Amino acid sequence: MQNATAIDPTWTVNEIMARYPATISVFNKFGLDTCCGSGAPLADAAHRDGADVDALLEALRKATSDTPAERDVALALLKGRSHKAIAHESGRSERTVRQHAVAVYQKSGLGGRTELSAFFLEGLMLPAERDELRPAR
């Protein structure tokens, strides 16, 4: 996960979704077109679709910000560690580690550990390799 200190309203919707997959649900909530009009700068797209730019930027910031503890847990999960092992290694309770894991999954829009791993592995692949794994439409 990345920490979004600021999303620039001049970035296109496509750029933001590529950098921060969790933003797709925010765009949908605000009624922004994430398909045909997603090449427009964020501010233009928000105005075009009738969304409040400031409220949208705040929602995007919240959806993409993660804490250092969440990043630590995400990395440990990617390394295959159990919640119990992460808790022991980090000095946190297992319940806290589980809460951090849930926050990571929610913010990233992923369903769990398997999808988290797949998301990072897909990012390491070349574009042609990714296309081969996607189902045909």
pTM above 0.75, yes or no: no
Q: Six-digit token pair at 79?
A: 């390394």
Is 27 buried (19+), middle (13-18) or exposed (0-12) by CB count in 10 A?
Answer: buried
pLDDT at 1 (0 to 100): 46
Which stretches of the chain drop beneath a pLDDT of 70? Answer: 1-6, 37, 123-137
pLDDT at 135 (0 to 100): 62
Ranges of each domain in the chain: 13-64, 68-133
pLDDT at 61 (0 to 100): 83
pLDDT at 133 (0 to 100): 61
According to the CATH classification, is domain 68-133 in 1.10.10.10? yes
Measured at the alpha carbon of residue 89, what is the angle toward residues 61 and 79, in degrees to the nearest 5?
A: 65
